[in-house]
Structure 1
Amino acid sequence: MKKYSITVAGGGSTFTPGIVLMLLENQKRFPIRQIKFYDNDKERQEIVAKACGIYLKEHAPEISFSYSTEPENAFTDIDFVLAHIRVGKYAMREKDEKIPMKYGVVGQETCGPGGLAYGMRSIGGVIEILDYMEKYSPNAWMLNYSNPAAIVAEATRRLRPNSRILNICDMPIDLEEKMAAMCGISSRKEMTVSYYGLNHFGWWSAIYDKDGNDLMPKIRAHVKENGFADALSETNQHVDESWRETFTKAKDVYALDPDTIPNTYLKYYLYPDYVVSHSNPDYTRANEVMDGREKQVFGACRSIIERGTSAGGGFEADVHASYIVDLACAIAENTRERFLLIVPNEGAIENFDRTAMVEIPCIVGSNGYEKICQGAIPQFQRGLMEQQVSVEKLTVEAWIEGSYQKMWQAITLSKTVPSAAVAKKILDEMIKANQGFWPELK
């Protein structure tokens, strides 16, 4: 079996050690000859990379390992780029969350004005990495799970339509595992789902087990009473209080359309007043992460470096990210497995914008993906999606054209924002906060 060469773009991420351990755990089905890290933050990457280097030397010395801030070194002789970058890091995420909240608007990483601000930062970074890959390893595939995935996907559709990139998100996968647990099934892979929407903005319309039994009645009954909260396990990566609240609130999102199962992120659009009233404007999700995961992972890395061994070092495989290996395997070995991908609609949802980047089931093999048509969708979901896809398209147009007007329109159109006046205040403050990250808007 061929051995593969991987570049992790975002080598300084707190998720990188878990990705490395996950890759090692899947060596039998996805053997690796080389792992490279790439990041534009040399100091931050070096801490993670040195610790991962020690781990790899002890557990998989046959795998070549290197890290670099030089694109030619990082992207030459590779088969896959695993991209999970965060332009501006958590310091900018904190601003994304706190600026809207000054004006009584949802402050969230990928939803509302904060998500649009993050999108304006992410577009250039993802395009840059894609171009490096195509320059130095033109036959490689980029598996992108950088947020906000919807805006990034629309940008790659507009700016690099022929690129070998697959945009994917882990949130539906996490929820499918919870639904499998509700039904007493050991893995989401034993279920076949129908799903439609935009990223962080979608609904399950059908779920069957491997014998063709309809699981929706049981899941609907469960979500109606509990949301997803009681399906949490202690090993789940999203166990902070803010996530527990989100999983509980899903029962109120579900109530709007009891025929489907909603993505949890819809709470930000359907209950924005509730979200704002239950948020602390001085301590947001970014602060939770900086005080929690950030300190934990970098503390573990420094400990491994100081001791010179990874034994008892506190690294854990990110089993939640095994879908990345599944996706790479599907391409590398032509497994024809089903995934939820973010792809151009082109009729897959028949009564929706053909140019929209929609999240739907696809079959993935060595030649890319084939979409599984979802038919026509209900008016309620279609109306919400038309509004949100327009927000995403206007944001990408604002980035491409340097248009203040279109960015103001994008924020105004978001269902989380009450008026154009509030949108303008948020935009003007976001422009100041994002100097050096956003293109100049005129």
Structure 2
Amino acid sequence: MSRSSLKLAIIGGGSSYTPELVEGVLKRLDQVPVGEIHFVDVEAGREKLDIILALSQRMVDKVGAKIALTASLDRRAAIKDADFVMTQFRVGGLQARANDERIPIQYDVIGQETTGPGGFAKALRTIPVILDICKDIEELAPNAWMLNFTNPAGLVTEAVSKYTKVKTIGLCNVPVSMKMMIAEMMECEPEELSLECAGLNHLLWAHKAWLRGEDITATVLDKVGDGANYSMKNIHEEPWDPDFLLALNAIPCPYHRYFYQTDAMLAEEKAAAAEGGTRAEQVMTTEKELFALYQDEGLDKKPEQLEQRGGAYYSDASLNLVDAIYNNRNSLHVVNVQNNGAIASLPDDAVIECTAVVGSWGAKPLAVGHLSPAVLGLMHQVKAYETLAVEAAYTGDYTKSFMALAANPLVPDISRAKAILDEILRTNHDYLPQFATR
């Protein structure tokens, strides 16, 4: 990339995460010369968008940066001539997420934003919108990179890869969080660690961990099994069985608790929903508090309370990627990208999450070859579900949707799969135009 001044288009600019993104831009101006940021949102997010613009302007003014900030509801204007389009939106807002969490638990099934039926519902709402955005990118910014942070990131990235010509990389803060937590356990700097990561989004394993060249995988597994902090703000920290971790011989991501400790996680979800509300309902309260803070005209930096929102290291994940592409760093990042032989048993066009070399040409996954049977079965089952879910979201096909939920390992039988699907379609009717003929 040779542009001396970059334009970023932020789709979902009214998100409470945006100040962290702005902070990340300001910290990297010497390496990543951003000259323009265009925040865009939908009508329902107009008030939040205005608040974000005002706070962002105070942050930019504080450091004397020469960045033109715009906020509008005009997505095409935001995308036109952008170098990077960053997507971080939520179709239906937090109320839709709360529905995603509550519907499955009525049937004794995990209700979670990105995993299981909740993630499926989110994919159905999100994929048609992201594909529509891609049409604008193809027309108005064909050389732009789309960096997708919108969940479920793996499914969204696979849809973009399969159905559009847009250059895209999916990213997530979970791999960065894993590295930070392992660094804390090992009492070292994150830069001293190397992790060999491969799996799927929110189903990622670190198959090996090295500290200054020494294999520390077994030590990390011992520490996790012994109760070391290894979770995130939005995931209940159910203790890991040390014998199971020994058998697994790979470091699971925090989301694996939903698959490996389903009963305990479901019990915790049900109790939380009955007492303090689902995670989405709790976040609604957090968001109100954050936006009240953001309106303070004396505030000119990202407030510490944003850490409670659950998106720690978001700007590091996304802006380090911008840096790697713009400056052709050829550096290592854990991203969502087409497999292309990296995991031997998956198709080339399947989107995986893995360690990749990132430069101006994009992301090339590092090959891990054949994975252990300890992880292979679960990964293949979830990938089968993902493939069906992407097709269902694209086509609006009821039978494919039914099969996707039936294939998901968190849905125990087809009668519940069908009941949950029918309720998802009813509840999300206004956001699922692809199913309109049913």
TM-score by length of 2: 0.91
Residues 1:260 and 2:250 are matched in the alignment:
yes
**1:419-434 mapped onto 2 (5 Å cutoff):** 419-434=413-428
Partner of 2:221: 220
Give the alignment partner of residue 147 of structure 1, picking from 151, 163, 174: 151
8 Å contact kept, 1:253–1:262? no
Q: d(CA) in 1 for partners of 2:137 and 2:243?
A: 40
Q: d(CA) in 1 for partners of 2:210 and 2:37?
A: 37
Partner of 2:60: 56
1:270 is aligned with what amino acid?
Y
8 Å contact kept, 2:158–2:390? yes
Cα shift readout 1:280-301 (whole Å, capped 9, x = no counterpart): 3341110111112x02221112
**1:317-328 mapped onto 2 (5 Å cutoff):** 319-328=313-322
1:351 is aligned with what amino acid?
S
8 Å contact kept, 2:55–2:300? no
Give the alignment partner of residue 281 of structure 1, picking from 257, 264, 273: 273
Quote the offset at 1:254 in angstroms: 5.2
**SS state at 1:321 partner:** helix
Q: d(CA) in 1 for partners of 2:128 and 2:209?
A: 37
Quick one: structure 1 residues 386 and 311, their matched pair in 2 at CA, closer, same or farther if it must change by over 3 Å?
closer
**SS state at 1:55 partner:** helix
Partner of 2:180: 177
Q: How large is the RMSD of aligned CA atoms in angstroms?
A: 2.2
Q: d(CA) in 2 for partners of 1:284 and 1:321?
A: 26
Name segments (4+ residues, structure 1) moved above 6 Å.
315-318
8 Å contact kept, 2:37–2:70? yes
Stretches of structure 2 that go unaligned for 5 or more consecutive residues are none
Partner of 1:334: 328
8 Å contact kept, 1:253–1:267? no
Q: d(CA) in 1 for partners of 2:294 and 2:363?
A: 37
**1:12-411 mapped onto 2 (5 Å cutoff):** 12-40=14-42, 41-160=45-164, 162-187=165-190, 189-209=191-211, 211-229=212-230, 238-239=232-233, 243=235, 245-246=236-237, 248-251=238-241, 255=245, 257-279=247-269, 280-282=272-274, 283-292=277-286, 294-304=287-297, 309-311=298-300, 314=303, 319-411=313-405
**SS state at 2:226 partner:** helix
1:25 is aligned with what amino acid?
K
1:310 is aligned with what amino acid?
L
1:222 is aligned with what amino acid?
K
Q: d(CA) in 2 for partners of 1:400 and 1:311?
A: 42
Quote the offset at 1:330 in angstroms: 0.7
8 Å contact kept, 1:327–1:364? yes
Cα shift readout 1:143-176 (whole Å, capped 9, x = no counterpart): 111100121022112211x321111111011011
2:183 is aligned with what amino acid?
A
Partner of 2:411: 417
Q: d(CA) in 1 for partners of 2:205 and 2:57?
A: 41
Quote the offset at 1:387 in angstroms: 0.8
2:258 is aligned with what amino acid?
Y
**SS state at 2:95 partner:** helix
2:321 is aligned with what amino acid?
L
Quick one: structure 1 residues 147 and 320, their matched pair in 2 at CA, closer, same or farther if it must change by over 3 Å?
closer
Quick one: structure 1 residues 254 and 18, their matched pair in 2 at CA, closer, same or farther if it must change by over 3 Å?
farther
TM-score by length of 1: 0.90
8 Å contact kept, 1:362–1:372? yes
Which deviates more, 121-130 or 258-267?
Answer: 121-130
Cα shift readout 1:53-85 (whole Å, capped 9, x = no counterpart): 233234335211111111232112321112111
Quick one: structure 1 residues 254 and 172, their matched pair in 2 at CA, closer, same or farther if it must change by over 3 Å?
farther
1:297 is aligned with what amino acid?
L
8 Å contact kept, 1:87–1:121? yes
Quote the offset at 1:8 in angstroms: 1.3
Amino-acid identity (%): 29
Residues 1:440 and 2:435 are matched in the alignment:
yes
Q: d(CA) in 2 for partners of 1:253 and 1:93?
A: 35
8 Å contact kept, 1:254–1:262? no
1:327 is aligned with what amino acid?
L
**SS state at 2:431 partner:** coil
Stretches of structure 1 that go unaligned for 5 or more consecutive residues are 233-237
1:4 is aligned with what amino acid?
L
Q: d(CA) in 2 for partners of 1:220 and 1:53?
A: 45
Quick one: structure 1 residues 419 and 133, their matched pair in 2 at CA, closer, same or farther if it must change by over 3 Å?
same
Q: d(CA) in 1 for partners of 2:285 and 2:96?
A: 15
Q: d(CA) in 2 for partners of 1:106 and 1:256?
A: 26
Which deviates more, 280-289 or 382-391?
Answer: 280-289
Quick one: structure 1 residues 299 and 253, their matched pair in 2 at CA, closer, same or farther if it must change by over 3 Å?
farther
Which deviates more, 105-114 or 408-417?
Answer: 408-417
Q: d(CA) in 2 for partners of 1:418 and 1:400?
A: 25
**SS state at 1:426 partner:** helix
Quote the offset at 1:320 in angstroms: 4.7
